[in-house]
Structure 1
Amino acid sequence: MITTRTLSNGVRMVMEEMPAVHSVAIGIWVKTGAVDEEKKYAGISHFVEHMMFKGTENRTARQIAGDVDRIGGAMNAFTGKEATCYYVKTVSDHYREAADVLVDMMEHSLFAKEEMDRERKVIGEEIKMGEDSPEDVAHDKLIEALFRREPLGNSVIGTRTSLNRITHNVMAEYVRTHYVRDNMVISVAGNFDPEEVCDYFQGTMLSLGKTGPARERSVGSPAPEYHSVKRDIKQSHICLGTRGVNLADPRSYAMSVLSQLLGGSMSSRLFQNIRERKGLAYSVYSTTGSFRDAGYFEIYAGVANDQVKAAVEGIREELDILASKPVEEEEVRSAVEQMKSSYAFSQESTSARMIVNGKNYLLLDRVFNEEEVLEGYNNVTAASLEEVKKLICDFSRYSVSVASGVKVNRKSVMEE
């Protein structure tokens, strides 16, 4: 059962009890990410996330890690386009000690200059790691193209130049402005006492501001773009994408099912055509991504450098077939069952439930219970797929990004 509550300090709580487990996952979600950044300070949300682990008024960086290790916990964080999440998972008896560390980080982080200088180097290595992953390069270029001139097109990690502009004062002001109580959700999942947890968090975050700035909404539909990046690699990594549906769109279930049957498994159409019949790729798949106000659909294939054109033609072939022929109900039901199973597997993890509940409550001010999700998938039919087909079957609307060992000509992959 999922319950929500707004505490007297203004912080919102979303809680899911799982009495059969012995652990609890606690996440502090902050509605700040790449979409909230000035271009000159690109990557500041991610930089802040790193710095939250580098020492507070009460703990050194080593003590932050040690206090969580001492209770057998696991702690981490991540930054996205629209939100940042700090989380810890531990056995239920130690939830308070784990929460104490997270709260200390939120309220008392120092952002010391010498630590910032060191962490810039760490993030610089993280940037290099991303640049060394051609699949990530192709994906990032695609998302940038799909959301050109919109906040969702902003880079999460930033650049070396933008990171160098972020001083202690710039970071402190960003945190003061964005790390405020009405921008926060605390998500808890596992074995715990809701009243006890709420009583604990009731007295926290009081040193933070109450309200933050309004967020610019992401709207638009840019013209298709083509990007080719040459790397010293043996394979070409192709990402093709178009705009999809947002987090709250009721068509999201149909879109997920459509993506699943097209490229979500070994029996999917893309896998069977591109890999099994044509032998062009080891890895080929489709996926969806959703934000508060927008979304995307993406197809990826990793192929030999001289097979890019053939792979794209095979993908277009499958999109044309999907557009021209109704999907058989048997294929729909198979994809539905795969999506329901994936959802059921995720429900067995306290961390996964904490994440999905926290994200939805932070961005949509609502949560989706198990019955609602399963009903959403069960209601998908061949007829309901016809509407979402229109969003993904027109190849002329696709942007394309290729990271390759050779120069890949636009005309070989884009419809002119």
Structure 2
Amino acid sequence: MYDVSVLRNGIRVVTETVPHVRSVSVGYWIKAGSRSESPDKRGVSHLIEHMLFKGTESRTAKQIAEEVDGIGAQLNAYTSKEYTCYYTKCLDQHLSPAIDIMSDIYCRSLILETELNKEKSVVLEEISMYEDNPDELSHDLIFKALWGDHPLGTNTIGERDTIKALSRGDLTSYMDQWYRPSNLIVAAVGNMFHAELVQLIDRHLGGLSGELVQPQFTLPVSRGDVLTIEKDTEQVHLCIAVPGASRVDPLRYSVSVLDMLLGGSMSSRLFQELREERGLVYSTYSYNTCYSDAGLFGIYAGVSRENLEQVIHLILEQIRQVREGNVSESEIARAKEQLKANLVINLESMGNRMSRLAKLALFHERLVVPDEVMRQIDSVTLSNVVETAQLVLDPSRLAVSAVGPVDDSLSDYFNQQRDRVLSGC
């Protein structure tokens, strides 16, 4: 069972007590990420996340690290497009000092100019690291191919020019706007009492103030571009995507089943066709990335240049087959069992459990228990999946990204293959 409390200043505390473990996972979740940034401030959310570990009014960066290690805890953070999370994992007897450290970096980080300049260099190196990873680069590029310059189409880390131009004032202004009590959820799962955590959070964060944040987001518009980056790599890293299901889309359960049968498991169509039967790839899979009001349904394959056209043809052929209803009941049954098992197995991790609970609190009207999710998965039928495939896997909306030994000629070939699928040939 879940417990929820709202402090006087608007902070929501959501917990699930799991008494048979000896640890607690706690996250401070701010409902703001790269989607909340203006174009000239891209990367500010991620840079703030870095800076909050660089020292507070009472602790240096080294002291933060030493105190965390001193209680055997883990302390980390990450930035996404719609939220930023600071989290700790600690033994149950160390919950109080862990909350003290977390709250200190959240409320009293100094963000010194000298540290900011150093951390900008760190982030620039992080950008270089991603650019040296063609797999990561292709996945970043597919969002731009699908949504262009919309905030959901840009990467979270930002661009070099905007990172270099960010000032301390840019960071503090962003925090003043978004790091408000009404925009913060504290989620915790593990061996602790809800009332105890509420008391700790009220003690450390109850004095924060700020008006309710009302974000105004625009919906992304699908572009369906073909974008390539030529690199000297052994493989082409290929992504194909269409708009998918949002976090609250009624189709999200049937999209999940579609995802699983198409490329989510070893028995999936893409894995069997591209790897097991033809030996064309080592890695191929599908996925649905959800946002509050949009989604991206993607397919990935890493393939040699000489086999690229054949793999594109086979992927589009599988899309055509599913859209035409060439799906068996046994495929649907396997996909649903995989989804349910993945849910349960993931929830055996307190960190995963805490993350799921926080996202429910951030984006949903109520906290849905796992048993209800499994019932929703069980209710998906073969006809639901085919209808969803016909709606979602629309060839006219397909976008493509490719990184590796490719050039602009890929666009012509892909468009020919897409036209073939559209014509039903």
Question: Counterparts of 1:29-40 in structure 2 under 5 Å?
Answer: 29-40=29-40
CA contact (8 A) 2:9 2:209 kept: no
CA contact (8 A) 1:181 1:208 kept: yes
CA contact (8 A) 2:360 2:367 kept: yes
Aligned amino acid, residue 85 of structure 1: C
Q: CA deviation at 1:171?
A: 0.9
Partner of 1:412: 413
Partner of 2:197: 197
Partner of 1:367: 367
Question: Counterparts of 1:240-319 in structure 2 under 5 Å?
Answer: 240-319=240-319
CA–CA distance in structure 2, aligned partners of residues 333 and 123 of structure 1 = 45
Alpha carbons of 1:51 and 1:45: their partners in 2 closer, same or farther (altered >3 Å)?
same
Partner of 1:99: 99
Q: CA deviation at 1:364?
A: 2.6
Q: CA deviation at 1:325?
A: 2.3
CA contact (8 A) 2:30 2:183 kept: yes
Q: CA deviation at 1:42?
A: 0.5
Partner of 1:350: 350
Task: Please give the secondary structure, in 2, of the residue aligned with 1:307.
Answer: helix
Larger deviation, residues 383-392 vs 10-19: 383-392
Q: CA deviation at 1:365?
A: 4.3
| Deviation digits for residues 202-249 of structure 1 (CA, Å, limit 9, x no counterpart) | 233245442254212241432310101001111101000000111012
CA–CA distance in structure 2, aligned partners of residues 72 and 218 of structure 1 = 43
Question: Counterparts of 1:6-25 in structure 2 under 5 Å?
Answer: 6-25=6-25
CA contact (8 A) 1:183 1:211 kept: no
2:321 paired with 1:325:
no
Partner of 1:163: 163
CA–CA distance in structure 2, aligned partners of residues 172 and 165 of structure 1 = 14
Task: Please give the secondary structure, in 2, of the residue aligned with 1:302.
Answer: strand
| Deviation digits for residues 367-412 of structure 1 (CA, Å, limit 9, x no counterpart) | 2211111111111111221221123333221000000123251112
Partner of 1:135: 135
CA contact (8 A) 1:218 1:293 kept: no
| Deviation digits for residues 262-314 of structure 1 (CA, Å, limit 9, x no counterpart) | 10111110011111222211111101110001111000000001211111000
| Deviation digits for residues 325-380 of structure 1 (CA, Å, limit 9, x no counterpart) | 24222211111111111101111111001111112212234322111111111111
| Gap runs ≥5 in structure 2 | 420-425
Q: CA deviation at 1:324?
A: 1.2
Question: Counterparts of 1:216-227 in structure 2 under 5 Å?
Answer: 216-227=216-227
Aligned amino acid, residue 108 of structure 1: R
CA contact (8 A) 2:285 2:301 kept: yes
CA contact (8 A) 1:25 1:88 kept: yes
Partner of 1:175: 175
Number of residues of Structure 1 aligned to a counterpart in Structure 2: 416
CA–CA distance in structure 2, aligned partners of residues 272 and 338 of structure 1 = 16
Aligned amino acid, residue 172 of structure 1: T
| Gap runs ≥5 in structure 1 | none
CA–CA distance in structure 2, aligned partners of residues 211 and 271 of structure 1 = 50
CA contact (8 A) 2:242 2:394 kept: no
CA contact (8 A) 1:244 1:391 kept: no
Q: CA deviation at 1:155?
A: 2.3
Partner of 2:423: none
Q: Percent identity?
A: 36
Larger deviation, residues 64-73 vs 47-56: 64-73
Question: Given the two structures, how large is their TM-score scaled by the length of structure 1?
Answer: 0.97
CA–CA distance in structure 1, aligned partners of residues 218 and 298 of structure 2 = 19
CA contact (8 A) 1:328 1:382 kept: yes
Q: CA deviation at 1:131?
A: 0.3
Larger deviation, residues 304-313 vs 197-206: 197-206
Q: CA deviation at 1:4?
A: 1.6
Task: Please give the secondary structure, in 2, of the residue aligned with 1:203.
Answer: helix
Alpha carbons of 1:220 and 1:177: their partners in 2 closer, same or farther (altered >3 Å)?
closer
CA–CA distance in structure 2, aligned partners of residues 208 and 237 of structure 1 = 46
Larger deviation, residues 39-48 vs 365-374: 365-374
Aligned amino acid, residue 329 of structure 2: E
Q: CA deviation at 1:19?
A: 1.0
Alpha carbons of 1:386 and 1:360: their partners in 2 closer, same or farther (altered >3 Å)?
same
Alpha carbons of 1:26 and 1:259: their partners in 2 closer, same or farther (altered >3 Å)?
same
Find runs of 4+ consecutive structure 1 residues off by over 3 angstroms.
Answer: 206-209
Aligned amino acid, residue 76 of structure 1: N
